[in-house]
Amino acid sequence: MSESLSDIKQHLASVRQTRQITNAMFLLSTSMLKKTLAGMEYSLRYRESLRGAMREILEMSEDAGIRNRYLEVSPKGTSLYLSVMGDKGLCGNYNYALAALTSQIKREKPGSMLYCFGLEGEEYLKARGLRPDRVLPGSSMHPDLTLARELSKALIDMYVTDEVNEVFIIYTPYKAANRAPVCRRMLPLLQGDFTDSASRGRPNEMLYEPSAESVFEHIVPLYCSALLYNILVQASASENAARMDAMQSATNNADEMLRTLEGRMNAVRQLTITNEITEIAAATQLLKRGI
């Protein structure tokens, strides 16, 4: 059965409405990504300044062999994984890739605890047979420093009371070329985490009151909250970038479909006109013959 002109027009109207929605979501995601990237730069600077101070204390105390509960792996407790996912969909395979990595890690660590950011993440994990011990909705789209501080404090309290002995964060770091999820350790801190190419060697002698160990103990919670906040910001940027790419692709597909439908509509209209002309010509010939 041939497609009618009214059916094509109805299809065209539906595709145009869909294109308006996808294009609006693309523009919104672009705006949110720009704001998130600005916040990510500031949070990274703050985290690196704290990291530099911790590195200097460790380098200065290297001979004395500084001992700290945040630098030691406790045999008690279990591992805790915080999976930073999204509250909304329409972002390609962003949540799917995070759920796949989280599921793989949980299979390797069957007795570990699982926290999850995002309502979409909870649904993806439940579909894989995983039930998070705690879900934090409404936080993936708008990273909040207060939330990062409260959550890092709760995680630190669980760590120092030996409820957990390791804390890992599963998230998608923001990279323009490749956005693949990773698993990063938050606690315990290892001295190797603070020896890199940015190290300036032996720092100048500095006095810490009441002691270098006490200052280090005070800085660690600040560093953990800064680290968690930076991770939340990166995850939000990655989610917005993934949604932006998905909406751009959907808009391009809608444009292609509109061109196809417009071509089919023109063909049907031309065929209709041709048939009408043929019918008029045939009727004229019949009239001339007196039929």
Furthest C-alpha separation in the chain: 119
pLDDT value of position 215: 83
Radius of gyration of the chain (CA): 30
Confidence of residue 1 (pLDDT cuts 50, 70, 90): very low
pLDDT value of position 204: 55
What tokens were used for 74? 């406790």
Is the same domain home to 170 and 257?
no
pLDDT in tens, 142-154: 788 888 899 999 9
Q: Is the residue at 22 inside a domain?
A: no
Q: In a 10 Å sphere around its CB, with 0-12 CB exposed, 13-18 middle and 19+ buried, how is residue 284 labelled?
A: exposed
Residue 103 has pLDDT above 50, yes or no: yes
Q: Is the residue at 19 inside a domain?
A: no
Q: Residues 162-186, buried b or exposed e (16+ Cβ, 10 A)?
A: eebbbbbbbbbbbeeeebebeeeeb
Average pLDDT rounded to a whole number, residues 36-56: 81
Q: What's the rounded Cα separation, in Å, for the pair 183 and 197?
A: 22
Average pLDDT rounded to a whole number, residues 246-255: 92
Is the same domain home to 189 and 272?
no
Is the same domain home to 38 and 150?
yes
Is the same domain home to 68 and 177?
yes
What tokens were used for 102? 């989280």
Q: What's the rounded Cα separation, in Å, for the pair 230 and 169?
A: 12
Q: Is the residue at 21 inside a domain?
A: no
Is the same domain home to 238 and 256?
no
DSSP-assigned states of every residue in 188-234: S--GGGG-STT--SSPPP---SS-HHHHHHHHHHHHHHHHHHHHHHH
The dihedral built from the CA positions of residue 105, 162, 169 and 83, taken in this order, carries a sign that is: positive
Residue 247 has pLDDT above 90, yes or no: yes
Is the same domain home to 111 and 254?
no
Residue 211 CA to its chain's centroid (Å):
40
Q: What is the pTM of this model?
A: 0.82
Q: What's the rounded Cα separation, in Å, for the pair 70 and 269?
A: 75
Question: What is the H or E stretch that residue 52 is in?
Answer: helix 5-60
Q: Is the residue at 86 inside a domain?
A: yes
Look at strands 113-117 and 182-187 and give their pairing.
Answer: unpaired
pLDDT in tens, 196-234: 645 455 455 667 777 777 888 888 999 999 999 999 989
Q: What's the rounded Cα separation, in Å, for the pair 186 and 178?
A: 22
Is the same domain home to 212 and 265?
no
Structural domains in the chain (count) = 2
Is the same domain home to 115 and 225?
yes
Q: Is the residue at 20 inside a domain?
A: no
Q: What's the rounded Cα separation, in Å, for the pair 187 and 65?
A: 19
Residue 290 has pLDDT above 80, yes or no: no
Least confident range from 8-17, 86-95, 158-167: namely 86-95
Is the same domain home to 241 and 252?
no
pLDDT in tens, 117-128: 888 888 888 888
Q: What's the rounded Cα separation, in Å, for the pair 119 and 125?
A: 10
Question: Smallest Cα–Cα separation from 101: which of 109, 111, 89?
Answer: 109
What tokens were used for 70? 């945040």
Residue 3, helix vs strand vs coil:
coil
- Helix, strand, coil: what percent of the chain each, to 5? 60, 10, 30
Question: Smallest Cα–Cα separation from 103: which of 187, 188, 181, 185?
Answer: 181
Is the same domain home to 103 and 203?
yes
Provide the residue range defining the domain that includes 112. Answer: 27-245
Is the same domain home to 265 and 135?
no
CATH number, domain with residue 152: 3.40.1380.10
Q: Is the residue at 101 inside a domain?
A: yes
Q: Is the residue at 281 inside a domain?
A: yes
Residue 180 CA to its chain's centroid (Å):
10
Q: Is the residue at 114 inside a domain?
A: yes
Is the same domain home to 173 and 282?
no
